[in-house]
Amino acid sequence: MTEKTHAPTAADAFPEIRQVDLAAPGRWLRAGWSDLRRGGSASLFYGTCFAVGGWLTQLVFAHAYALFAGLVTGFLLVAPFLAMGLYDLSRRLERGEAPNLMVTLTAWRPNLANIGVLAAVLAVVLLVWARASMVIFALFFDAAALPSFADVVLAIVAFEQPEFALVYFMVGGFFALFVFAISVVAVPLMLDRGTDAVTAGIASIGACARNPGPMLLWAATITLLVGLGMATLFLGLIVVMPLLGHATWHAYRELTVAPATGNEGNG
């Protein structure tokens, strides 16, 4: 009796991680900008969705700023999953295909189970962070009169409550770095090669561990650009989010060695 075997596929292999230099984030942004220009309205559609999400969150939670702040800053935690359509758009542009919004809207379907696992993890982290954000606000502000946006800006910019700013950014930074480490390569990898969630997460952590300087610089760049996008009442996100989404695809491409089997890609 002969056992049936199958040839290894890209999904079976653990991705090989490359070492990159400190100039890499600049290259990723330039490549992302090129994809944004080529993607046109398809790319800007995703950016508009991010901006609209910010406006809706502000509208719904206008009278609960502590929760609003947690949800808005926490959107960075789920952005890698929400940007999947942008990764797929970059992948298709890379193949020489014309920009097509409709096919990218369901990019998650070929690897739904594993992408769903990571999405669930990111959602749980977001909920925990939202709760932690409210607790920090309650510790530093009067619970009977939670702060307005102006109060928070003064507390941070004018150093009226330096302890609040320190604690808030330290705790928020911990959550952000954790999610960044497990997802920066993982989501594009699962999209591109059909990799399982655990392997993709470990590969993403490995990419950060092998390239601490460039990856910290990339994380800081993402934070700065998203912060600028939010500071424009979310209008800037229309451009910033597609730019970062496309750039993250190119980060994945440079950080991982393409499989030799030629079986990568699902769509």
Residue-wise pLDDT for 181-205, tens only, equals: 998 999 999 999 988 989 999 999 9
The pLDDT of residue 255 is 96
Report the share of the chain in percent with pLDDT over 70.
79
Residues near 45 by Cβ (< 8 Å), separated by ≥ 6? 101
CA distance linking residue 27 with residue 124, whole number of Å:
33
Q: Which residue has the higher pLDDT, 68 or 246?
A: 246
What is the average pLDDT score of the chain? 82
Q: Among 46-55, 103-112, 238-247, which is the least confidently predicted range?
A: 103-112
Question: What DSSP designation does 23 have?
Answer: T
In the predicted model, what is the mean pLDDT of residues 222-226?
Answer: 90
Residue, of 93 and 258, whose pLDDT is higher:
93
Mean pLDDT of 83-94: 93
pTM listed for this prediction? 0.82
Tokens 């730019």 correspond to what residue? 243
2-42: per-residue pLDDT in tens? 444 444 455 557 889 999 999 999 999 999 999 999 999 99
254 and 27 Cβ atoms separated by less than 8 Å: yes
Show Cβ contacts of residue 177 under 8 Å, excluding neighbours closer than 6 positions.
219
Q: Which of 227, 128, 120 is nearest to 171 (CA)?
A: 128
**Count of CB atoms situated within 10 Å of the CB of 17:** 19
> Residues 61, 68: contact at Cβ < 8 Å?
yes
Instruction: Count the neighbouring beta carbons within 10 Å of the beta carbon of residue 219.
Output: 19
Alpha-carbon distance 156 to 51, whole Å?
Answer: 24
d(CA 174, CA 132): 12
Spatial distance between the Cα atoms of 138 and 166, rounded to a whole number of angstroms? 15
Name 141's Cβ contacts closer than 8 Å, sequence gap at least 6: 66, 147, 151, 164
Q: Is the pLDDT of residue 63 over 90?
A: no
Say what the pLDDT of residue 129 is: 82
What is the share, in percent, of the chain residues with pLDDT greater than 90? 39
Residues 227-241: pLDDT tens digits?
888 888 889 999 999
Q: Tell me which amino acid residue 109 is.
A: R
pLDDT of 91 > 70? The answer is yes
Contact indicator for 175, 127 with CB cutoff of 8 Å: no
Confidence (pLDDT) at 7: 45
